[in-house]
Amino acid sequence: MLTRMIAGKNVQVNEEGFMTNPAEWTKDIAVELAKEEGLLELTPAHWKVIDFARQKAVESGASPTLRTITSNAGVTTKELFSLFPKGPAKKVARIAGLGKPEGCV
């Protein structure tokens, strides 16, 4: 298993850079990962989606898919792509400290 320093904390990651232990995640880590994804600021709308994804992962044991997020988090597909451009489900999962959602390439 690989480790990486993010926001001053050593965390376990896989080969693609996804955290492998969601318990190591912090909001500071999320902010740093968001910057790496080109998001300079996380607004309340971003946090709503991130918090939803983390909660859904606790319930299901897996990162939520795009359809799950848009059907249950109170955001439309258009809004989600606006908040997390170019692969929103994958970006949400990475920023939320979760594994890559099933079906993402």
Show which residues are catalytic.
104
Say how far apart CA 76 and CA 61 lie, in whole Å.
24
- Contact between 11 and 24 under an 8 Å Cβ cutoff? The reply is yes
- Contact between 92 and 49 under an 8 Å Cβ cutoff? The reply is yes
Beta bridge partners of 3: 12
Q: How big is the chain, counted in residues?
A: 105
